[in-house]
Amino acid sequence: MKLLEQNELNSLEIRDLWHLWNNEYPVQLNYEKLEDFEKYLESLENCFNILLIDCGEIIGWSFSFNREDERWFGIIISEDYQSKRYGSLMLNKLKERESQLNGWVIDKANYYKKNNTPYKSPINFYLKNEFKIINDFILETPKFSAIKITWSNS
């Protein structure tokens, strides 16, 4: 198992991350075309990436970026590697670099992944990792609903 920290992603990494994203997030967040996922990545300002690699395969990805004068993040771990502390390891690596992290988290249980299994909300994972729920900020779209979480080192 190794962690790879980098600012840029190559085309093979982007393709693998697109598959990881589409397999692990609810279908409402899937990118049908690789080009659409690439456009999303290009829209991220000052992006920093951490790849979790096992036997040459990307099994986890955490990233931080600028949005509206705040530092935001995302994290994805392959289902086979969840609940093994890899997510916390990746979050702690981000926390070493950042003074604050903000994110959106789906907090309801009515979403499904691409393989038709229920998407389990990671809200308890974030609470265990010192994040706070910001109840005043709820993201409601026609596709999904999420709440804002934040962490700061102060």
Q: Write the CATH number for 72.
A: 3.40.630.30
**pLDDT band for position 3 (cuts 50, 70, 90):** very high
* Predicted pLDDT of residue 29: 94
What is the domain range of residue 69?
2-152
What is the number of domains present in the chain? 1
**pLDDT band for position 109 (cuts 50, 70, 90):** confident
Residues in the chain: 154
Burial, 140: exposed, middle or buried (Cβ in 10 Å; 0-12, 13-18, 19+)? exposed
For 94, the 3-state DSSP assignment is helix
What is the 3 state secondary structure string of 27-49? HHHCCCCHHHHHHHHHHCEEEEE
User: H-type helices in 1-154, by residue range?
Assistant: 11-24, 34-43, 86-97, 123-128
* Among 64-68, 102-106, 141-145, the least confident range: 141-145
